[in-house]
């Protein structure tokens, strides 16, 4: 069973936080993948756990694409790009179940 690099599990609990342009990154900043962040799509992850380009499913949030690595994102932590600083702060720090649907490192596909 493949999901996370170094973890032989189908899903795991991650700390999930939010970030937004203007409060956590400067306007016009690009993600590590070289693309601008997109609300409803972009998430930052530790590439040693979930590689860039992977597709993850975050319970209660939905599918997201790992476009970024984030300066404070380490281990089982995801940072979801949101539309505003207010939304990101309101979201706070939550524990959510996360599944990797497609790992960019290994090309694996997980069915839900």
Q: Tens of pLDDT along 43-98?
A: 999 999 999 999 999 999 999 999 999 888 999 999 999 999 999 999 999 999 99
Q: Is residue 5 part of a domain?
A: no
pTM across the whole model: 0.83
Q: Is residue 2 part of a domain?
A: no
Q: Can you give the CATH number for the domain in which 81 is found?
A: 2.40.40.10
pLDDT for 99: 95
Query: Is position 1 within any domain?
Result: no
What pLDDT, on the 0 to 100 scale, is given for residue 5?
53
Angstrom CA distances, 27 to 61, 72, 89, stand at 24, 19, 18
Summarize the confidence of residues 95-108 as an average pLDDT. 80
Query: What domain range is 69 assigned to?
Result: 11-102
How many folded domains does the chain comprise?
Answer: 1
Q: What pLDDT score was predicted for residue 3?
A: 46
Tell me whether residue 27 is in a domain: yes
74 domain-assigned:
yes
| C-alpha to C-alpha distance for 110 and 58, rounded to whole angstroms | 14
CA neighbor of 103 nearest in space, from 3, 1, 18: 3
On whether residue 3 sits in a domain, the answer given is: no
Over residues 28-40, the mean pLDDT reads 91
Cβ atoms of residues 19 and 68 within 8 Å: no
Write down the pLDDT at residue 44: 96
């Amino acid at each position: 069973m493949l999901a996370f690099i170094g973890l032989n599990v189908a899903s795991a609990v991650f700390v999930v936080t939010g970030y937004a342009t203007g409060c956590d990154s400067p306007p016009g900043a690009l993600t590590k993948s070289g693309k601008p962040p997109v609300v409803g799509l972009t998430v930052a992850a530790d590439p040693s756990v979930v590689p860039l380009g992977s597709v993850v499913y975050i319970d209660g949030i939905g599918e997201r694409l790992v476009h970024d690595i984030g300066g404070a994102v380490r281990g089982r932590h995801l940072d979801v790009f949101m539309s505003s600083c207010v939304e990101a702060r309101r979201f706070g720090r939550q524990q959510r179940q996360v599944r990797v649907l497609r790992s960019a490192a290994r090309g694996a596909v997980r069915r839900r």
